[in-house]
A and B are shown apart, each in its own frame.
Chain A
Amino acid sequence: MKKIIQFKNIVKQFDNQIVLKGINLDIYENEFVTLLGPSGCGKTTLLRILGGFLDADDGEIIFDGEEISKVPAYKRDINTVFQKYALFPHLNVYDNIAFGLKLKKVSKDIIEQKVNRMLSLVGLEGYAKRDVTLLSGGQQQRVAIARALVNEPNVLLLDEPLGALDLKLRKEMQIELKNIQQEVGITFIFVTHDQEEALTMSDKIVVMKDGEIQQVGTPTEIYNEPINEYVARFIGESNIIDGIMKDDYLVNFDDHDYKCVDFGFKKNEPVDIVIRPEDIDLVPRNKGIMNGEVKSVLFKGVHYEIIVETTSGTSKTVTMHVLGNKDIVNDEAHEKISASDFYMDLEDVENLTDAIVVARANAQAWNNEDEDVSLAKIEYDVKNAIGTYPCTFATAKGTEITINITVVKPVYTEDKANDEAIQAFDFYKTVDEIKESIALDTDLKQWANAQAWSLEDESPIEIWDVKYDFDDEDIKEGDYQITFSTMGRELKVHTTDYQEVGTKVGVLFAPEDLHVMSKMGN
């Protein structure tokens, strides 16, 4: 096949922000090429540079053997289907399509012939005299395609042309566009952020990120052999796991070795491993490669998306001291006030504010009509040392309560295997506070100040599970154990078989389902 377009080291910046960092890309004749990436990745900029609507700051564009950077848009043998179609509202369907031909002074009868052929190509026979502003989105789309194709360009550029259509119409147009491309036999360069669209239509996909090309390949190559974590995440759903390449055909993650089909990495090189959710099978316990527990099940129409936890997360157990009601009643002022003792981390003393104290103590005051009364006085003197300090809350009318703030050394559990740590504190609560809680798990996390973070970069990690064995509707005074834990290794599985949450299952996949990729940036 012949190269029709070559981008050579295209650089573009806007307001000192580099949007294209030296793009090199070859496009061949009769290809359906998709530039795929999230918004802001530079794909539309690249298309506009090719169309002649923007100038590159650096680099060359070779079109059919000629450098065309300095050729104005109207002299390029390229036509564009714009994002919002950009149909001329003052012209009808026929005149919109004939626009380019009339400029080229083509004779009337030939224009008519060509326009009519285009109308039938896009399935709009009989629409010639219609007002374009009264057409539906899909019809306007077809007019825009016909208007571009009637000029018989060598290359057609399509800038997210299906973005404004609804899902069903979009799917129809995807197939139709592909058919039109095959029928007219020219190069289509299609820009989209929709990975499914790219997979459906393209001969070649160019995945872009932050002004750089990540990977160029056929849809199957991109899907089955993503070059890095970014491409794997962008195309389809995937489980991406940190691992180590022990040897050719042998990869290690979560302390186990697994056979794979990849080779050519350095010994003990850290890698990312992709397992597609549809490549994993759930089997009875001990019948698979690893065991796990079903954590959640989502119905997705054709399949269920099941999250299976194969290694447990990091956990921390704390004691909740449940006290009876100890609201303080001020009969003269017709007010009541309540607050609870709490524990806090020595490291947090420096950043203590009134708002934190009020929230942690759950301090509140209210009057006989059950209206909230604001706290006029919040007094505490917490020293930067381990110990117990009094704290007084009072309303303007003098209703007051004193509690204890206990400052303790930070207590957290580290888990080297999961590379994370979790902390939580014992705490005091009254029976009423627990009964009144609307979202108990969230409140328990807040009351215990439960937090988990990555040991690698201290980024927060979600606390996935809160376990306790009391009935919050019928709780009595006493001490209760609460366990907070993070999610361990979670695997997303797509399967048509339903599984109950909590089921212990086996997990099975084949060596060829593990796709090993170099870490990004290497």
Chain B
Amino acid sequence: MICLPMLMIVFYAFTTQGNEVLTLQFTLDNFLRFFEDSIFPSVLWRSLKIAINTTLICIAIGYPCAYVISKLPGNKQSLMVLLITLPMWINMLVRTYAWRGMLNDSGLSNEMKVYIGMVYNFLPFMILQIHTSLSKMDQSLLAAAEDLGASKWQAFLKVTLPLSLPGVISGITLVFLPAVSSFFIPKLLGGGDFVLIGNLIESYFISTGDWNFGSAISLIMAVIILISMYITKKLDRQSKEVH
């Protein structure tokens, strides 16, 4: 049941349009078309760039937030976690519409608006992941580091940071993946001319009805995601070995 839709996508991606069982034709045209037309790779590149930047911004804002929260006393900590999860109780689409209302007359560039929407939507995932790994950390380790001659800053660099890396890495996975394939945030906030790979897939499936090409783009995306996940996993393992 889980694999069936995936298999259908693979099937569509490698066949020509108008599939009737009798005229079934396997082809690589869909993929060739993607790379031959210069517009598609540039959309892909733009999507990756936005996803990577979103992830970096989320780390830059999320880590200090999570760190501060993890230093609060227990009940305030739960309150802050609740406040961070609170927006998630409301549909993401509705919240993005709300942002559209607010940003429409702001005079910001479309790219800026997309970044705001993305960071707003995905930041909680980053904060929660990092917060979990920070709050799990045994506080006596910091006392031990200090005892061995580490200043507060050194203790942070040598103990807190490496021990919170797994949280950062799972935060990256949780932010990067939805960011790279998101389609309604650029659609709603990008003013219609800001096309990302997610929008491409959506338009081929829904507007054009070219399921085969849409499937091919999805597959390419899937491969890219797979590669990026492999790289993060590898980084994760390396960070453990280095220390």
A contact set with B: CB distance below 8 Å: 51-53, 72-75, 78-80, 82-84, 86-91, 95, 99-100, 103-104, 147-148, 151
Instruction: Assess whether B243 is in contact with A82, with CB atoms less than 8 Å apart.
Output: no
Instruction: Assess whether B159 is in contact with A80, with CB atoms less than 8 Å apart.
Output: no
Instruction: Assess whether A104 is in contact with B141, with CB atoms less than 8 Å apart.
Output: no
Instruction: Assess whether B147 is in contact with A88, with CB atoms less than 8 Å apart.
Output: no
* Residues of chain A lying within 8 A (CB to CB) of residue B144: 80, 82, 86-88
Number of A-B contacts (CB under 8 A): 67
Within 8 A of A (CB), among B124-167: 138, 140-141, 143-151, 154, 158-159, 162-163
Contact of B149 (CB < 8 Å), options: A84, A86, A151: A151
CA distance in complex: A72, B147 (Å): 9
Which of B141, B148, B154 has the most chain A CB atoms inside 10 A of its CB?
B148
Q: Is B240 at the interface (CB under 8 A from chain A)?
A: yes
* Residues of chain A lying within 8 A (CB to CB) of residue B148: 74, 79, 99-100, 103, 147-148, 151
CA distance in complex: A104, B162 (Å): 20
* Residues of chain A lying within 8 A (CB to CB) of residue B240: 90
Instruction: Assess whether B163 is in contact with A103, with CB atoms less than 8 Å apart.
Output: no
* Residues of chain B lying within 8 A (CB to CB) of residue A79: 147-148
A86-B151 CB under 8 A given contacts A91-B243, A95-B243, A99-B158: no
CA distance in complex: A151, B180 (Å): 49
A86-B143 CB under 8 A given contacts A74-B151, A100-B148: yes
CA distance in complex: A83, B147 (Å): 14
Instruction: Assess whether B163 is in contact with A89, with CB atoms less than 8 Å apart.
Output: yes
Given A75-B149, A82-B143, A99-B150, output 16 extra A-B contacts at Cβ < 8 Å: A51-B147, A74-B146, A82-B140, A82-B147, A86-B141, A89-B163, A90-B159, A90-B240, A90-B243, A100-B148, A103-B149, A103-B150, A104-B149, A148-B147, A151-B148, A151-B149
A-facing mask of B169-183, CB < 8 A → 1, else 0? 000000000000000
* Residues of chain B lying within 8 A (CB to CB) of residue A73: 143, 146-147
Closest Cβ of chain A to B124, distance in Å, is: 26
CA distance in complex: A73, B147 (Å): 6
CA distance in complex: A63, B9 (Å): 74
Instruction: Assess whether A90 is in contact with B163, with CB atoms less than 8 Å apart.
Output: yes
Interface pairs A-B: 8 shortest CB-CB: A100-B148, A86-B144, A86-B140, A73-B146, A80-B147, A103-B149, A90-B243, A90-B162
A53-B158 CB under 8 A given contacts A79-B148, A90-B163: no
Looking across the interface, which residue of chain A has its beta carbon closest to that of B137? A89
* Residues of chain A lying within 8 A (CB to CB) of residue B150: 74, 99, 103
Instruction: Assess whether A53 is in contact with B243, with CB atoms less than 8 Å apart.
Output: no
Closest Cβ of chain A to B156, distance in Å, is: 13
Closest Cβ of chain B to A148, distance in Å, is: 8
Of the A-B pairs whose beta carbons lie under 8 Å apart in the complex, a sample of 6, sorted by A's number, is A51-B147, A89-B163, A90-B240, A95-B243, A103-B150, A104-B149
